[in-house]
Structure 1
Amino acid sequence: MGISLREPEDSDLPIFWQQLTDSELRQMAAVTRKYHYDRGHFDRHWTKVRSDPSVILRTVLADGAVAGHAAVFGPPSEREVTYVIGRTHWGQGIATAALAELIELEPARPLHADAAADNAGSIRVLEKCGFVVTGKSRCFARARDEEIDLVRLTLS
């Protein structure tokens, strides 16, 4: 399968919205924001991140089809990665390939990522790309309506 990244296009946004509103994806990700639930917030969020030159934002393509998105964001000393791959594309190595390509675009180190402690798939993707668990905390997970364990992973 051919995995590639490209700049997001307006036509990607309905697919991203569909992915972010998938209840199973939300449950797995656990920590969600207003833009996962409200289309107006979603549109404002994407307008903001797409116009922010400090954000590296890419659409993830799998054999030419939009599979999700990935980004690097945050201040220079605290850069973080995030990615969302639609459920129909899970278990195919897409997230790992996309993240590996994304982190090549960002020279700053360290890079950080957070994942729900029970999200073994996401933790495995991050570890395959060189991230290691460097911390643990608790936070409120809106998608689960409860406090959860969170792990912090770092790529040095």
Structure 2
Amino acid sequence: MTEVLLRDVDDADLEVFYEQQREEEAVRRARFPARDRDRFLTHWRTKVLGNPTGHVQTVTVDGEVAGNIVAWWQDDRRFVGYWFGQRFWGRGVGTAALRQFLRREQVRPLHADLFVGNTASVRLLERCGFRSVDTDRDGDPEFVVLRLDEG
């Protein structure tokens, strides 16, 4: 049986996250361009890990780093986002990890915005109770906003 766990981020995890965000299929599905190493590490160390209101967790599968889940404030809304290495897709890892994260992250409503064509990610969020509330983010109708109100 696969053991999916959350833990605090170690500096060594950033190298794994960097490689995962470069995977071509993940970039295509997320419609989020990969960053070069210096920009990626600077972003993570200053904006993600350096954000005192953020909630950041490494996701492990049987002890191996599978990805990450992050919650942050953007304007007056709390958002959640995640990124998993491609070899962990389709195994229930995302659903198990997000359900654990949502038990720890108590702010509601909680939002997620993603490329509307990333149907696997939309389904993952819906399995965890999120519902579509908007199909326009910053004037871009190709993105959908989902919201979790309770749970």
Q: Fold conserved (TM > 0.5)?
A: yes
State the distance in 1 between where 2:79 and 2:12 align.
26
Q: By how many angstroms is 1:16 displaced?
A: 0.4
Taking structure 1 as the reference length, the TM-score comes to 0.88
Q: Segments of 4+ in structure 1 off by > 6 A?
A: none
**Partner residue, 1:92:** 91
Segments of structure 1 that go 5 or more residues without pairing to the other structure are 141-146
**Partner residue, 2:16:** 15
Segments of structure 2 that go 5 or more residues without pairing to the other structure are none
Paired residue total: 147
**Partner residue, 1:73:** 72
State the distance in 1 between where 2:137 and 2:53 align.
28
Report SS of the residue matched to 2:136: strand
Letter in 1 for 2:65: V
| Higher relative contact order (CA closer than 8 Å, sequence separation 6+) | 1
Taking structure 2 as the reference length, the TM-score comes to 0.91
Q: By how many angstroms is 1:38 displaced?
A: 1.6
**Partner residue, 1:151:** 144
> Superposition RMSD on alpha carbons, in Å?
1.8
**Partner residue, 2:31:** 30
8 Å Cα contact 1:116-1:148 kept in structure 2: no
Tell me the percent identity: 36
Kindly indicate whether residue 2 of structure 2 is the aligned counterpart of residue 4 of structure 1.
no
